[in-house]
């Protein structure tokens, strides 16, 4: 006979709130015992009760409503109403209601998007390289969300593999049903990726504000706030919902000092809503030196170069913020001056890339040595960095600018923007800084680095002399800030906005 899902959840609650109390008996008996364990109205317990009995992480107002109901009518009547509603829902979904498991004292890493995507640049690269280190060094549980984005679950083996290594791009297609959802309690919840789905972020908000969990997030940038004109329609609002949740988190580890300053400025603004906001630290991304053998270098030449011409490499998606139209304009200026070189773009298509694609097609019709690649292996990426005469990254705003650091790490000069995280990365040498809004400035720097041997050699020497810092060091520092740093939060920060204890 199948286990009654409601009774299973009530027993799970009892085992957590009152482990000394018997978990046997009828639903009514279990409801009465849980009600006695709830005691006085408390936001944290109300959050847990809702999460477990409904098998859904609650939203903020639901927690407040339950706490008020307990205060007005008592715990048992309020709990009976929730149990009855859950029972009706279970009857409608006969055979498909999940079990609930409370996770205590664990470290949960939420990689919903990374586990289900084939993307391998930017955020996904940071997440995967970090997980490779953490999974080898620490006890972590990788979690995602159900199809409704209202409950956490453990990843499947295929999703876990894709989250860590990016080798199973169809992992999401294997998820059919969720037999068990998980509820963190007195654990650490880490979000190392960007979450912008409304259902997901609204539940993250309540988890961070009310539950007895430490919460931490990797902060990539605040571009939708600081450069809203460069992001897609709807992204600003979605990012605002993300920030509404992060405002209740305990810690943010920004990927650069520039990104940390953006988050600190935002935290200062939260005082107007009487929110303390998270503690913000900078854990700067590494300057990784990816490995590639001779075969990989040859594959990179075949994929990226044209007619053995000197290669100018541009890595990144084609969204307007990356400023690839300026790269095309500067390249065409140099081609018209008679310079011979090839230009390769490596990166996925994205919103707002219609004009980029149109101009690429026009330049190809003119016979320009230009290629675009949307999906490549690591050996082609790292081979491309090594065989390039130079790389170009004139973005308008970046949380870090990973292609700048990666190119410099292998000794290849970069032309990049003269502000923000890009200037921060370039400070140790190896780059020419430009005004990305000036096509002439970009073209001048590209001409110097591509065709002035003295400039190129000087920049290469500077790049090779830069201090090296890999993913192992980054992951260790990130863990220290996000997990080990949980006891360093001042007492007055630990309770602000977290509900009644």
Number of H helices, E strands in the chain: 21, 15
Q: Are residues 381 and 459 in the same domain?
A: yes
Which residue, 448, 425, 422, is CA-closest to 435?
Answer: 422
Q: Are residues 93 and 117 in the same domain?
A: no
Predicted local distance difference test score (pLDDT) of residue 487:
39
pLDDT tens sequence across 299-357: 999 999 999 999 999 999 898 999 999 999 999 999 999 999 999 999 876 778 899 99
Among 4-13, 91-100, 323-332, 381-390, the minimum mean pLDDT is found in 91-100
Q: Are residues 245 and 120 in the same domain?
A: yes
Report yes or no: 449 and 413 within 8 Å, Cβ to Cβ. Answer: yes
Predicted local distance difference test score (pLDDT) of residue 2:
60
Q: Are residues 166 and 88 in the same domain?
A: no
Q: Are residues 173 and 254 in the same domain?
A: yes
Q: Are residues 369 and 439 in the same domain?
A: yes
Report yes or no: 125 and 377 within 8 Å, Cβ to Cβ. Answer: no
312 belongs to a structural domain: yes
Mean pLDDT of 125-142: 96
pLDDT tens sequence across 461-497: 999 999 988 999 999 999 999 999 743 433 333 333 3
Q: Are residues 221 and 330 in the same domain?
A: no
pLDDT tens sequence across 253-294: 999 999 999 999 999 999 999 999 999 999 999 988 888 899
Q: Are residues 222 and 145 in the same domain?
A: yes
From 49, 76, 97, give the residue that closes a domain: 97
Q: Are residues 358 and 439 in the same domain?
A: yes
Q: Are residues 304 and 420 in the same domain?
A: yes
Measure the CA dihedral 18/21/23/29, to 10°.
-100
Share of the chain above pLDDT 70, in %: 95
Q: Are residues 224 and 171 in the same domain?
A: yes
Secondary structure (3-state) at 88: helix
Predicted local distance difference test score (pLDDT) of residue 183:
98
pLDDT tens sequence across 408-455: 999 999 999 999 999 999 999 999 999 999 999 999 999 999 999 999
Q: Which of 211-215, 373-377, 378-382 has the highest mean pLDDT?
A: 211-215
pLDDT surpassing 70 at residue 400: yes
Measure the CA dihedral 239/219/468/128, to 10°.
-70
How many domains does the chain fold into?
Answer: 3
Predicted local distance difference test score (pLDDT) of residue 501:
27
400 belongs to a structural domain: yes
Secondary structure (3-state) at 323: coil
Rounded CA separation 60/24 (Å): 32
Q: Count other C-beta atoms under 10 Å from residue 100's C-beta.
A: 23
Q: Average pLDDT over the chain, rounded to whole?
A: 92
Rounded CA separation 254/391 (Å): 25
111 lies in which domain range?
Answer: 103-286+476-495
């Amino acid at each position: 006979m199948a286990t009654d899902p409601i009774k299973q959840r009530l027993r799970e609650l009892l085992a957590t709130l009152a482990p000394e109390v018997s978990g046997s008996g009828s639903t009514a008996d279990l409801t009465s015992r849980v009600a006695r364990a709830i005691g006085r109205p408390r936001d944290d317990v109300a959050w847990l009760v809702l999460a477990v009995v409904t098998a859904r992480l609650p939203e903020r107002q639901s927690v407040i409503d339950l706490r008020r109901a307990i205060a007005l009518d008592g715990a048992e009547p309020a709990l009976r109403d929730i149990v009855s509603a859950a029972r009706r829902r279970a009857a409608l979904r006969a055979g498909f209601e999940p079990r609930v498991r409370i996770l205590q004292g664990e470290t949960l890493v939420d990689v919903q998007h990374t586990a289900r995507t084939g993307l391998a640049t930017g955020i996904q690269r940071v997440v995967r390289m970090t997980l490779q280190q953490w999974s080898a060094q620490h006890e972590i549980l990788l979690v995602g969300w159900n199809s409704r984005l209202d409950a956490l679950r453990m990843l499947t083996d295929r999703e876990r593999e894709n989250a860590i290594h990016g080798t199973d791009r169809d992992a999401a297609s294997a998820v059919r049903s969720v037999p068990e959802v998980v509820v963190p309690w007195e654990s650490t919840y880490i979000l190392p990726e960007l979450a912008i789905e409304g259902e997901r972020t609204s539940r993250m908000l309540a988890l961070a504000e009310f539950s007895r969990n430490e919460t931490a997030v990797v902060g990539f940038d605040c571009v939708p706030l600081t450069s809203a004109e460069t992001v897609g329609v709807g992204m600003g609002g979605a990012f605002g919902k993300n920030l509404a949740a992060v405002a209740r988190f305990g810690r943010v580890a920004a990927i650069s000092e520039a990104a940390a300053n953006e988050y600190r400025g935002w935290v200062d603004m939260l005082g107007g809503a009487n929110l303390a906001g998270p503690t913000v630290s900078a854990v700067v991304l590494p300057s990784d030196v990816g490995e590639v053998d001779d075969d990989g270098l040859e594959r990179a030449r075949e994929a990226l170069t044209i007619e053995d011409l000197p290669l100018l490499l541009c890595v990144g998606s084609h969204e307007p913020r990356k400023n690839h139209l300026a790269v095309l304009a500067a390249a065409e200026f140099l081609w018209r001056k008679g310079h011979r070189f090839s230009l390769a773009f490596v990166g996925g298509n994205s919103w707002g890339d219609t004009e980029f694609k149109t101009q690429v097609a026009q330049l190809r019709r003119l016979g320009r040595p230009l290629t675009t690649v949307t999906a490549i292996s690591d050996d082609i990426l790292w081979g491309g960095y090594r065989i390039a005469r130079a790389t170009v990254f004139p973005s308008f705003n970046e949380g870090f600018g990973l292609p700048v650091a990666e190119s410099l790490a292998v000794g290849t000069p970069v032309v990049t923007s003269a502000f923000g995280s890009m200037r921060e990365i370039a400070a140790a040498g190896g780059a020419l800084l430009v005004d990305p809004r000036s096509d002439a400035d970009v073209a001048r720097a590209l001409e110097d680095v591509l065709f002035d041997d003295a400039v190129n050699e000087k920049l290469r020497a500077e790049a090779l002399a830069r201090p090296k810092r890999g993913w192992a060091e980054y992951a260790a520092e990130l863990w220290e800030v996000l997990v080990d740093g949980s006891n360093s939060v001042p007492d007055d920060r630990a309770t602000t906005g977290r509900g009644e204890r």
